Structure 1
Amino acid sequence: MGVEILLASSAFKTIGVTSLWLIPILFGALTFHNYDSHDPESKVRDVNPQAEYDFVVVGGGTAGSVVANRLTEIPSWNVLLLEAGQDENEISDVPSLAHYLQLTRMDYQYKTESTGKACLGMRRGRCNWPRGKVLGGSSVLNYMLYVRGNRHDYDHWESLGNPGWSYDDVLPYFKKSEDNRNPYLMNSKYHGKGGYMTIQEAPWRTPLVAAFIQAGTELGYENRDINGEYQTGFMIAQGIIRRGSRCSMAKAFLRPIRKRRNFHVSLNSYALRILINPLTMRAFGVEYVKNGQKRTVLARREVILSAGAINTPQLMMLSGIGPKEQLMNLGIPTLRDLPVGENLQDHVAMGGLTFLVDKPVAIVQSRFQAWPLTMQYVLRERGPMTSLGGVEGLAFVNTKYANESGLWPDVQFHMAPAAYSSDGGDQVRKILGLTDRVYNDVWRPISNMDAWTIMPLLLRPKTRGYVRLKSSNPYTKPIMNPRYFENEFDVATLVEGAKIALKVAEASPFKQFGSRLYMKPLPNCVDYEFLSDAYFECQMRTISMTIYHPVGTAKMGPEWDSEAVVDPRLRVYGIEGLRVIDASIMPTIASGNTNAPVVMIGEKGSDLIKEDWSELRSYGKRIHT
């Protein structure tokens, strides 16, 4: 699905490494360094933190970047942003190289638990779960797709006892951060301009995505703005990109404020635990490790957890906030018994729906010459390297199980003009974790053929998984089990989604390319009739594709909700001075890619902090320890 993930290395091989190239390369590097120091988008400076700040934000990912930006708008507040990883690099700027960054040191390299119900085509039955360990977080690794979710998602949040989180309440926050540069959307009442985050279509695409949109129309779905009044329909994907390059949340929200005197960033700073006074039950700081040295930083006002749906609950449990029985078993004193780590939700998709075409219209690595392609990207901000990780089209459709109005679709399609094997097969196999048997039997034979893919995705799974500590060692990766396909309704819904995807591929707009389904059955599914419901179920359990959207592990809810961890103002129940602002707080997962909703949560959460402290100007008198 990603585009030409080997292009960068191929380009460098084309250049060569002879000594004749050293002088211009050195000159170019020095020139770039001098330019970068004056660039308004140049990188933030890593500091050794002071002893105390007003606010300490843990996690420099999507939400943390937004929160740090908005809190430092108050000149009298000083803010420290702690990030466990390093800064992003030039490779991460290239949209088509999204796959290339996974399983690197920018990635926590998490894996789900083996359950025997999903990920059966992956090694040891475990799906890879990339999570960004880098400034900008997963917005540095993701496919940059800008999808807000459905208005009914947020109205549902409010109906669960969370006032202020309805669609009408959160829409202004979506618009606030947005700088939409698509001409046909710039005057829409559903979009904003002038915000920190640049939204636009990729400047390059294949003719296959036009056929995808036309096919949707033929099936009765409108070509519409899926982030507008209605979500159901087909659309050329909008991406969080700027001038053909990735616009990570660090680039969007942190680089523009790097010279604010009240803003500090500490990179390579791994949080170990939240410091909480057991007598007052107040969070007053964070213990972390930087450059191999254990350190402590104090927070005069609040500690804000923005470490994401895996690391936020992990850190809370390590600090004594979580299910009492689990913490006792690990020898961690329980300060507050809360269902931290429960309510885990993720979007799971069925991989493997591939269609061959007779015309050279898809992305095939052997067709492109690395050096001209790279120069087209570097000099003109155009070409295949601007593709959103290879995803060109998005759609939201209704299965027979969707709501009667048709306005809250239950399946999403990601359309890509490539097959798993056509974009650096060995790398993709490694990233997806496919077994040799599945990859060699099914995908390798079409590695040099034109093909395209639809991936049906389950928008609102019924199952709820969990994140739990494996040990009290903060460096031990936690247990992550999304419990994919344990609910038969989820299976049935995705089967119906696959059937609709086939109808899209069989529509007349694709006939001009000689498009037809790749009929090679998966080796462990040969006992089922090909394309039957049982076969589709086997396929989704074999190639279970996470779209990397874990949420919900510190659920927002009213005080009477026994599953809630934070209140509707995102304050942790029973712990003063501690707030969670990230994907963890979602009561139910948003219907679509989650990066944009997390930005919204960061925007709204920042305003909640400003409101809560608006009358507390004498913060210097507060005693925390």
Structure 2
Amino acid sequence: MPLSQIVGNLSVWASFPAFVLYYLFYSSFEFNNPEGRVSDTTTFLNAYDFIVIGAGSSGSVVANRLTEMSDSKVLLLEAGGDETIISDIPGVVHHLQRTNIDWSYKTVPQTGSCLAFKDNRCIWPRGKVLGGTSVLNYMVYARGNKQDYDQWEADGNPGWSYKDVLPYFIKSEDNRNPYIAANKEYHGTGGYLTVEEPTYKTPLLAAFIQAGVEMGYENVDCNAAQQTGFMVAQATGRRGTRCSTAKAFLRPIRKRPNLYISMRSLVHKIIIDSSTKQATAVRFEKGGQIYEVRANKEIIVSAGTVNSPQLLMLSGIGPKDHLNSLGIPLMADLPVGDNLQDHIALGGMVFTINKPFGVVEARYYSLSSLLNYTMHGTGPLASLGGTEGVAWVKTKYAPPGDWPDIQYHFVSATPASESGLFFRYNTNMKDNVWDNYYKPIINTDMWQLIPTLLRPKSRGTIRLASNDPYAVPVIDPKYFSNNEDLDVLIEGTKIALALSKTEAFQLLGTKFYDKIFPGCESHTPWTDAYWGCFIRHYSSAIYHMTGTCKMGPSTDATAVVDPQLRVHGIKGLRVVDCSIMPNVVSGNTNVPAIMIGEKASDMIKAEWLRRKMNAIDVDREEM
């Protein structure tokens, strides 16, 4: 069903005058804003020094930092267009999926997960827009765990320990929470990326934090010295609006004369010299015309965990047998598309309350709510799609120390809080599941806790469907192919249930919605077998796909790029995005993607500075 038809059914359009007011305010602000929107390049040079493919969470950073070298011309290619007015509003995030700013990917049918969704296929939103998935996500600012990065280094990637990457997190950050920004050891101010708490909170958030304390957890800044604990969500927000990486890193530098941004430009192939194995040019389509431009220095692929391996394989870099089967000439036999990881979660755990605190549609899209947001940048529309708090806890399976294995996203809304029409469309949920399970409690005051598996052992793959660059990649995450993943998530679910029984939540009349989930009727309720069935049915991806162009030394047969993020065996080509993660970090991945962009940019600049200095030394010797 087209999005326009769905939107046409929403009661929000009864408040259309408020949207007009907001549009007029926003347009005026953009016109006078020194960080206004970027211009689209329509004519191209024959060559640039650097070509960056993908303007997402990493690519936007790389383009920014490389243009700091004023003598280097940088072309940034993005398959999508610019952000929209609607995508700027945090509270409508769940309406952005499966629109024209989303690649709208689905997995292949799964046998052990996503069983509540049509054809057993999981929805995989990926940003097709300047700013990439930072435009579609729920804006949670989280860095991962110290031990994640120390493990990367221990696995043969020098320079990627926590002490090495922390300065890059700080470098990007402009934290506007005074009590957090005061901790200079872990936080920064003055960076491009604005970080602040959402301007709207419900009383449910205080209950969530207090419930964690009752269970023995501390209320801490989980992006600082200790990750285990409960916290108010920190967000990539700015004055009540979304702070995407395009807004943070591209708009402020849009007038640099050496930056060229081309939107709606789909890259078909990276041209590689078969004899020298040098990446020389990029072929892309824009407006129905094919262009081929050279890179004098490097090509940087920042297209994301799905599209980066897709592009490498289309260019002849990937598993030999797979490429041969598609008639693609082999340039490098590498395990591109393997090692796919994702944070899988239970998405359907709902708790009702007897207080009017939930984010229900009638409050969300009222005229007063829209005007409050337009005029003051607050109210429900300033919330992170209802996400108010996050927490990291340890199950009995977790290793010693501060390395939790479950993350919670605490949400003052649930699937039944949203329009049923939108919800079923966005998730592809089977009609009988919606009708039998969620429809009876639609628009009831509720909250939701989403237990998320942090370090999955299951591994999936990305493969090409054909050698056509327009063909959708074949995505097979193989969730729960390792049963240990399910065991950990079951424990996380039971801890979530215990949290709901604390005094803090019971004061709000909290009650677990204990209707048996469709498809799990044969299991004894509340046993591990039942929870496992529930999880396998309502398996929810959390946008954290990683690993498909794995970083590792040349001795690692599973690696695609080296610790400098250079593609093994190919000169002049790097991958810079979450696909390089050897193992997914223990938290949301948007901010680590930004860190990767920052660190890679310094690597690239340092290498070309060395080459320049070496060339000067050679010239002096010849004189």
- Structure 1 length-normalised TM: 0.95
2:278 counterpart residue number: 282
Q: Distance in 1 between matches of 2:29 and 2:584?
A: 42
Query: Would the alpha carbon gap of residues 31 and 512 (structure 1) be closer, same or farther in structure 2, given more than 3 Å must change?
Result: closer
Deviations 1:380-413 (A, max 9, x none): 01111010121111010000000122x1000001
Q: Residue 455 of structure 1: CA displacement?
A: 0.7
1:41 counterpart residue number: 35
Query: 1:235-314 alignment to 2 at 5 Å?
Result: 235-314=231-310
Q: Residue 512 of structure 1: CA displacement?
A: 1.3
Q: Distance in 2 between matches of 1:448 and 1:165?
A: 46
Q: Structure 1 residue aligned with 2:465, among 467, 470, 488?
A: 470
Q: Residue 13 of structure 1: CA displacement?
A: 2.9
Structure 2: unaligned runs, 5 residues or longer:
1-5, 617-623
Q: Residue 585 of structure 1: CA displacement?
A: 0.5
Q: Distance in 1 between matches of 2:411 and 2:16?
A: 30
- Are the counterparts in 2 of residues 300 and 620 from structure 1 also a CA contact under 8 Å? no
Q: Distance in 1 between matches of 2:587 and 2:28?
A: 41
Query: Would the alpha carbon gap of residues 29 and 343 (structure 1) be closer, same or farther in structure 2, given more than 3 Å must change?
Result: closer
Q: Distance in 2 between matches of 1:43 and 1:449?
A: 40
Q: Distance in 1 between matches of 2:524 and 2:9?
A: 42
Q: Which amino acid aligns with 2:32?
A: H
Deviations 1:497-535 (A, max 9, x none): 001001111111011111010011112001111111001
Secondary structure of the corresponding residue to residue 298 of structure 1:
strand
Q: Which amino acid aligns with 1:526?
A: E
Query: 1:441-520 alignment to 2 at 5 Å?
Result: 441-520=436-515
Of 590-599 and 421-430, the range deviating more from structure 2: 421-430
- Are the counterparts in 2 of residues 8 and 370 from structure 1 also a CA contact under 8 Å? no
Q: Structure 2 residue aligned with 1:599, among 587, 594, 599?
A: 594
Q: Distance in 1 between matches of 2:449 and 2:390?
A: 9
1:427 counterpart residue number: 422
2:343 counterpart residue number: 347
The alignment status of 1:84 with 2:84, answered yes or no, reads no
Q: Residue 368 of structure 1: CA displacement?
A: 4.8
The alignment status of 1:125 with 2:120, answered yes or no, reads yes
Q: Distance in 1 between matches of 2:98 and 2:421?
A: 13
- Are the counterparts in 1 of residues 364 and 380 from structure 2 also a CA contact under 8 Å? no
Q: Distance in 1 between matches of 2:176 and 2:405?
A: 29
Q: Distance in 2 between matches of 1:482 and 1:104?
A: 23
Q: Structure 1 residue aligned with 2:526, among 528, 531, 536?
A: 531
Q: Residue 37 of structure 1: CA displacement?
A: 3.5
Structure 1: unaligned runs, 5 residues or longer:
none
The alignment status of 1:215 with 2:211, answered yes or no, reads yes
State percent identity of aligned pairs. 51
Q: Structure 1 residue aligned with 2:352, among 356, 361, 367?
A: 356
Q: Which amino acid aligns with 1:576?
A: K
Q: Distance in 2 between matches of 1:374 and 1:31?
A: 13
Q: Residue 132 of structure 1: CA displacement?
A: 0.4
Cα RMSD of the aligned pairs, angstroms, is 1.9
1:616 counterpart residue number: 611
- Are the counterparts in 1 of residues 342 and 477 from structure 2 also a CA contact under 8 Å? yes
Q: Distance in 1 between matches of 2:393 and 2:447?
A: 19
1:376 counterpart residue number: 372
Q: Which amino acid aligns with 1:562?
A: A
Q: Which amino acid aligns with 1:322?
A: G
Query: 1:328-343 alignment to 2 at 5 Å?
Result: 328-343=324-339
Q: Which amino acid aligns with 2:100?
A: R
Q: Residue 75 of structure 1: CA displacement?
A: 0.4
1:556 counterpart residue number: 551
Secondary structure of the corresponding residue to residue 611 of structure 2:
coil
- Are the counterparts in 1 of residues 23 and 85 from structure 2 also a CA contact under 8 Å? no
Q: Distance in 1 between matches of 2:300 and 2:336?
A: 16
Q: Which amino acid aligns with 2:580?
A: I
Q: Residue 365 of structure 1: CA displacement?
A: 1.3
Q: Which amino acid aligns with 2:39?
A: R
2:98 counterpart residue number: 103
Q: Residue 40 of structure 1: CA displacement?
A: 1.6
Query: Would the alpha carbon gap of residues 8 and 54 (structure 1) be closer, same or farther in structure 2, given more than 3 Å must change?
Result: farther
Query: Would the alpha carbon gap of residues 191 and 31 (structure 1) be closer, same or farther in structure 2, given more than 3 Å must change?
Result: closer
Aligned residues: 609
Of 208-217 and 29-38, the range deviating more from structure 2: 29-38
1:205 counterpart residue number: 201
- Are the counterparts in 2 of residues 157 and 588 from structure 1 also a CA contact under 8 Å? yes
Query: 1:219-230 alignment to 2 at 5 Å?
Result: 219-230=215-226
Secondary structure of the corresponding residue to residue 214 of structure 1:
helix
- Are the counterparts in 1 of residues 314 and 469 from structure 2 also a CA contact under 8 Å? yes
Of 538-547 and 424-433, the range deviating more from structure 2: 424-433
The alignment status of 1:14 with 2:15, answered yes or no, reads yes
Deviations 1:456-480 (A, max 9, x none): 0000000111101111111001111
Q: Which amino acid aligns with 2:282?
A: V
- Are the counterparts in 2 of residues 456 and 497 from structure 1 also a CA contact under 8 Å? yes
Query: Would the alpha carbon gap of residues 15 and 600 (structure 1) be closer, same or farther in structure 2, given more than 3 Å must change?
Result: closer
The alignment status of 1:588 with 2:589, answered yes or no, reads no
- Are the counterparts in 2 of residues 273 and 286 from structure 1 also a CA contact under 8 Å? yes
- Are the counterparts in 2 of residues 83 and 270 from structure 1 also a CA contact under 8 Å? yes
Q: Which amino acid aligns with 1:14?
A: S
Q: Distance in 2 between matches of 1:83 and 1:160?
A: 33
Query: Would the alpha carbon gap of residues 235 and 306 (structure 1) be closer, same or farther in structure 2, given more than 3 Å must change?
Result: same
Q: Distance in 1 between matches of 2:190 and 2:388?
A: 25
Query: Would the alpha carbon gap of residues 33 and 495 (structure 1) be closer, same or farther in structure 2, given more than 3 Å must change?
Result: closer
- Structure 2 length-normalised TM: 0.95
- Are the counterparts in 1 of residues 363 and 369 from structure 2 also a CA contact under 8 Å? no
1:315 counterpart residue number: 311
- Are the counterparts in 2 of residues 346 and 549 from structure 1 also a CA contact under 8 Å? yes
Q: Which amino acid aligns with 2:297?
A: R
Q: Distance in 2 between matches of 1:510 and 1:504?
A: 8
1:390 counterpart residue number: 386
- Are the counterparts in 2 of residues 301 and 619 from structure 1 also a CA contact under 8 Å? no
- Are the counterparts in 1 of residues 203 and 357 from structure 2 also a CA contact under 8 Å? yes
Q: Distance in 2 between matches of 1:488 and 1:273?
A: 38
Deviations 1:105-125 (A, max 9, x none): 100010111121000000100
- Are the counterparts in 1 of residues 437 and 515 from structure 2 also a CA contact under 8 Å? yes
Q: Residue 36 of structure 1: CA displacement?
A: 2.5
Q: Distance in 1 between matches of 2:242 and 2:364?
A: 21
Secondary structure of the corresponding residue to residue 184 of structure 1:
helix
